[in-house]
Amino acid sequence: MLLQPSSLPVAIVGAQNIGVVVEYSFFDGGSDDASCLREAVASHFELLATRGRRWRPGDRPLFDPAVLDTMIGSPIDRLNFLGEWYDPASNGLILRGSGEIEGMGRRTNPRYSELEVRRRFPSGWSPEHPSHDMGNYAYAFSQPPLGLLSGYAVVEAMFREINDLILQPGDRHRIRNWSGYDLTRLSDYFNAGAEYWGTFLFTIVNEPSGRLVVISASASD
């Protein structure tokens, strides 16, 4: 294991402190072998119980390893993983939806770089909901049900910094999306997100470094 919960990168701790609900676990010596990926996913849920963000010390989300043994994530590319809330041109975020923005008029799908330091959401904004055809990690990061505590510029900077941690520059990335399954059968951690917001589970193997990242998200208001 590369990183223990107490030594999660500062950028991830900072993002979670402003309300990002995505959870991350890092492992060393990983591969895209099914047994290795399943072991990492199981360890990820063990680690969640130690972090104190949702459970009392000693508690843990219920987890069914028998269900995990029937699962394997679907390979996806980087753009599919990042999804519809990601803007490749700016390597940044998009606020998908439409509405009136003070000083800007009516806008549809503006980039975060256009919104500068404004808080989330503009008054009267009609947000879009993610499709089920893409991974939409950028949505999970930037659109938690209760919003985030920082302006757009800060959120986008954190997003870019964390992307370099999970998708290491110079490495090849083997990304799998496990969200096509009914994840509530795997763990009650996903019950909240299944209400309406969404449930997300990804594995990323960076090659040749061997860094394996497990990413999950589930939340409700």
Note the pLDDT of residue 90.
93
Note the pLDDT of residue 19.
93
Reference 183, options 146, 140, 143, 129; nearest CA is 140
- pTM for the structure as a whole: 0.90
Who contacts 95 (Cβ-Cβ below 8 Å, separation ≥6)? 85, 109, 110, 111, 112, 115, 120, 121, 125, 127, 152
In tens, the pLDDT along 53-110 reads 555 545 566 889 899 999 999 999 999 999 999 999 999 999 998 887 777 778 888 8
Q: Can you give the pLDDT of all 221 residues of the chain as single tens digits?
A: 443 434 788 999 999 999 999 999 999 888 999 999 999 999 998 888 777 655 554 556 688 989 999 999 999 999 999 999 999 999 999 999 888 777 777 888 888 888 865 555 555 666 777 776 788 999 999 999 888 888 888 999 999 999 999 998 888 999 999 998 999 999 989 999 998 899 999 999 999 888 899 999 999 88
Domain boundaries, the chain: 5-205
Determine the straight-line distance between the first and last CA of the chain, rounded to whole angstroms: 33
Note the pLDDT of residue 122.
59
Q: With 0-12 CB in 10 A as exposed, 13-18 as middle and 19+ as buried, what is 58?
A: exposed
**Cα angle: 158, vertex 23, 20; to 5 degrees:** 45
**Cα angle: 139, vertex 144, 149; to 5 degrees:** 115
Note the pLDDT of residue 68.
93
Note the pLDDT of residue 1.
45
Note the pLDDT of residue 47.
86
Q: How many CA atoms lie within 13 A of 69 on its CB side?
A: 3
